[in-house]
Amino acid sequence: MKRYRLGVRDQGFGEKLKNGISRLDIPAQHALTLSPGLTYTAARRKSQTSMRLLQRYILGELLRVFVFVLSVLTVLLGFLGVFQQITERGLGPLQVLQVMPFLIPSLVPYTIPATLLLSVCVVYGRMAGDQEITAAKAAGISVMSLLAPSLFFGAVMSIASLLLTDQVIPWAESKIERIVASGMKDIVLDLLRNQNQITIDGYAISVRDVSEDGKLIRPTFRYAPKGKQQLTAQAQEAELARFDLEQQLVVVRFSRVQLDVPGQGRSWAEEFEHPFPLQIGNQAPKARHINVRELRNELNSLDAQQETLRCRREIETAFALATGNFKVLQNGSLPQLDRRLTENRKKYHSQKTEVQLRFAMACSCFFFVLVGSPYAVLQAKRQFLTNFMVCFMPILLGYYPLVLLAKNLSATGTTDPVWAMWVANVVVAIAGLFVLRRVTQH
């Protein structure tokens, strides 16, 4: 039997093989024996095709488990968020239904890291327990190729989490604030019906009852400016006359009112109107409700203000020392400048910490996957909850306390948040690389 092999004597045959032609015009009576190099190439192509199919399968399983777990956790946290909104803002049923579509997306970034960790533990724990990892390695597929879908998914979710915290949460919070402001009349009336008294930035209104049409029965209005005596107004009835959303004010109209003004005695009036702040409680925007671009702009503004205040303080101190006016150092404008410098410095460090925290917490998705995927493969158990708890308990007891410690130290200016907020991620990355090394070795 005549055999054809790749060699120097048959140059045309060799060129055809190099060009990828698998079928040759060879007489039927001759048998064809492929060289080892061609056999290896075919096997390699088959292995790559199997690897791609397996990677798509793993990615699909991760996505399916992730979506299910994320939906469950988000719904559970949604009820807690609604309860918090009702407690803090006094929302009614209609306002709750209106804020729900904006409340749910703002909770998703906080559930993504734990959901990713549980997903990789479920998928890779089941695959390792069913010996699918061993079968893939026997087929020539490396462990890193099997872990690549989870690492890719973790990187994508890190970017998605950053976009959610930087864009979606500030947008959703602004929508919630607008809904609350537009329904403030109902909220105020509900608070007065339930508590018979509300306090708004130093203003206090107490009523005996609230009628069905929104009239305040026997209201009493009290206001005590700083450093001054309290002004009191008692009326037969009152109503919430109008709301100014731009100025954040609500005007209350009192009917048949008795005014008690300090230093002016008591007077009567048929009608008396007075504006009140619209916001109830402390509604100053939090740093996490501002996107990174606005935070950095405000950081630049605070830095410029800090330098201006520092220069002003130095000039006034030098002038007071030169003129011998030492009382200014204790009772003049210098103590006020010191307080403003302290407040600006605290706000600057707090917002700078928030910027770094936002990036660090978003990247935690990738580092959680880096430690969870190889650990589930290494344990080779189908009890995914065991793998999840073994991975998550050190994160819960070590990672998050370390993040809070770094946040508090950075917010006070003790440490630089540029590196302090990444310490916890570095620790998790080192643990993940250690476990990954053991998996690749065995």
Kindly report, residue by residue over 334-379, the tens digit of the pLDDT: 777 778 888 888 888 888 898 899 999 999 999 999 999 998 888 8
Q: Which domain covers residue 29, as residue numbers? A: 1-33
Does 56 fall in a domain?
yes
pLDDT band at 32 (very low <50, low <70, confident <90, very high): very low
Is residue 9 pLDDT above 90, yes or no?
A: no
Q: What is the pLDDT of residue 336?
A: 78
Strand, helix or coil for residue 233: strand
Q: What number of other Cβ atoms are within 10 A of residue 181's Cβ?
A: 16
> 7 and 98: one domain?
no
> 57 and 158: one domain?
yes
* Distance in angstroms (rounded) separating the CA atoms of residues 39 and 43: 6
> 152 and 89: one domain?
yes
Does 197 fall in a domain?
no
Q: Which of 22-31, 39-48, 237-246 has the lowest mean pLDDT?
A: 22-31
Inter-residue contact 431 to 371 (CB < 8 Å):
yes
> 359 and 214: one domain?
no
Q: What is the pLDDT of residue 13?
A: 35
* Distance in angstroms (rounded) separating the CA atoms of residues 91 and 180: 8
**Side chain identity at 142, as an amino acid letter?**
S
Q: What is the pLDDT of residue 17?
A: 34
> 373 and 426: one domain?
yes
Is residue 279 pLDDT above 80, yes or no?
A: no
> 163 and 206: one domain?
no
Is residue 174 pLDDT above 70, yes or no?
A: yes
Query: For 266-276, what is the mean pLDDT?
Result: 76
Residue 150 in tokens: 């989870």
Strand, helix or coil for residue 220: strand
pTM: 0.70
Please give the biggest Cα pair distance in the chain.
127
Inter-residue contact 314 to 372 (CB < 8 Å):
no
Is residue 21 pLDDT above 50, yes or no?
A: no
Greater model confidence, 137 or 265 = 137
Q: What is the pLDDT of residue 172?
A: 82
Distances in Å between the Cα of 57 and the Cα atoms of 51, 189, 345, 366 are 10, 56, 52, 20
Q: At what angle do helices 384-394 and 93-129 cross, to 10 degrees?
A: 110
> 394 and 302: one domain?
yes
Residue 437 in tokens: 């090394």
> 55 and 142: one domain?
yes
Is residue 60 pLDDT above 80, yes or no?
A: yes
Is residue 215 pLDDT above 60, yes or no?
A: yes
pLDDT band at 62 (very low <50, low <70, confident <90, very high): very high
> 174 and 317: one domain?
no
Residue 27 in tokens: 């007489």
> 386 and 291: one domain?
yes
Q: What is the pLDDT of residue 332?
A: 63
Does 250 fall in a domain?
yes
The neighbouring-strand residues paired with 215 are: none
Q: Which of 6-20, 127-141, 295-309 has the lowest mean pLDDT?
A: 6-20
Instruction: Round the average pLDDT of the chain to a whole number and report it.
Output: 77
* Distance in angstroms (rounded) separating the CA atoms of residues 110 and 94: 26
Count of structural domains, the chain: 4
Is residue 24 pLDDT above 60, yes or no?
A: no
The neighbouring-strand residues paired with 275 are: 251
Q: What is the pLDDT of residue 328?
A: 63
pLDDT band at 323 (very low <50, low <70, confident <90, very high): confident
Is residue 96 pLDDT above 70, yes or no?
A: yes
> 43 and 29: one domain?
no
Q: What is the pLDDT of residue 92?
A: 65
What's 249's DSSP letter?
E
Does 196 fall in a domain?
no
Q: What is the pLDDT of residue 26?
A: 39
Greater model confidence, 296 or 93 = 296
Does 304 fall in a domain?
yes
> 153 and 59: one domain?
yes
Does 391 fall in a domain?
yes
Inter-residue contact 191 to 90 (CB < 8 Å):
yes
| Alpha helices (H) along 90-223 | 93-129, 132-138, 143-163, 169-182, 184-195
